[in-house]
Structure 1
Amino acid sequence: MEAFPSSICRACRLRLLKPSQNRAFSTSPAHMYIPPESPVFVDVPEPLQSLRDRPAPAKGVLPVPRELFPARRPDKPGKEYLANVTRDPLPKNVLPPEKLTEIGKYKRRMADLRKSYLRDGLKELYSRKRSVDSQLAHNSALRRQETARLAAQPEREDERLTKISVPSAMQPQKPLQLSPEEELAIYNTRKAAHEARLAAKHEDRLDKLHTLYMNARSFITTKDQLAAALDATFTTTRSIWRTGKPDTVEEMIRRGRDRTADQGRGGLMLASDVNERALRDQERMQKIAEKLSGGKI
């Protein structure tokens, strides 16, 4: 099949490719012009521009490159580091050239070549890193300067004349500018408050430690003490009503209505009030003694 330029339309191309209407010499039936296996058997419109096959996307993710000059190794690649990584063999281990075979000479040349490549490569990479870092720092400084200049530049006159009126109270306020003396005074005040909080925490810890030490005398540490405590708590034949009947609701209300007065309601002094006041006075005296002695009693 003869090929025609792509500038000819598809209909014209098919018409030009159409076989001649002259009578064939043979008596066998003529074949169809477009067989089923032909690409143009099905009329599919084609775009004016040719389709290009896109390359397949690369699968996988490249690893993060290793940092050759980390901050924890400031000596890299100094002379001492290069001397250590490209160390020459000891003189006693070096054979003279006349005693080396061809393979030995080849290995020695390759070792010297690898050492020289390592030294030159590290130096070149370090110089490239320094140049890149300096360029990045320079660009960053330029951006910071430009940002500061744009932030500090005055408002344009056309914007000032055409902007919406905003009350002064709603406009953004500039941060408070403090003098060095005022900043030092604020720092000293906050430092003193912080030290006071730490001291209070320390005193509280000491008080809790002393309380724990004083209460340790009643801790149960052995099986015998645990058995004695269980027997004293659960093994008893005494009735809970032997000490008297429980207080009624009226008595509890009368006792709690005025706890600061010496007498209760109607001038009546109850026995339970006397006992409660005595216990409360005892607790207060114990707290006063603990405060004066500075420890738990």
Structure 2
Amino acid sequence: MPPHTALSTPLRAWRCPQCTVRSFSSTPRTQQVGPEHPRYIDIPEPPQQTVPDRKFIKGRLPVPRDVFSGADGDKKATDEWLEPHTRSPKHEVTPPQGSREEWKHKMSDMRRRNLREGIASLRVRKTRVEKRMSEQGAKNKAEREELLNRPEREDERLTAPSHGLDLDYLYTVNLADHALHDPTRAARLAFKTEKVAAHAQKKRDERLDSLHTLYLNARSFIVTPQQLDAAVDDAFGTPEAPHTFGDQSGTYGDAENAASVWAFGRPERVQDILNRANRQGSRSAMDGAGGFSGVNKERIQRIAETLTGGKMGESEEARR
């Protein structure tokens, strides 16, 4: 087989078509995604899904372990405990300058010094923290005790559902030994007695007035079948002579077949009543005086009822 010839055009790396298409929109390129993109439809997400984690601050000390725990915890950072742990070698040998033994000697001295200083600083910091925590705890305890033992406020005492009074002292049998000092008691009891008596008298007067009014109005009550028949005949007439709205003169139509109240003429308007009461629009002084006849009659009746102390019934002419 003949050898393969080289390609005339070199291969190019694949590029996203959406990134190569020039856009004339002001929308950022990151938001120009196609329908196949998972972020083509903006779906709201809960805030906790995108909240970033707390940034790590350089130089922040980690949470130290409790190096003072155990049986020897209280003895640490003392000379008795540090002496065997940071003891120098018995035979001090001066190594050659610049040799590896000199570097190891320096590292050993540095570790012993760091151990002594580190444990001492941790002991100081622990003591400071424990002191601050104890002071804060004592302060909180003192505030709590002060709030618990604080006396009750006056407004709370007066508005409390339970007054907390000594009922045995108030309702004791021997009042001579435990008498309460109340100089206005007799006057207050007399005033309250008068109020109760006045209220009872007012209710009695109202009851008597209601009974008297019922007695006067009972004259027009329908209590028998004969009175009911008479009232129906008076309102609607008898079968032989029923009441109609027709005009007997025949001006507005047939009197027997008429069925409208307008057959008697135009009803009285409110303005006509006001004009008659205020003497406006009347043609003569007699017409205006005639409008006051009913009002004066009602006033005279109210004056008579006030003077006699009871309701007065209407006369037969007024009822008719």
Q: TM-score normalised to the size of structure 1? A: 0.37
Q: TM-score normalised to the size of structure 2? A: 0.35
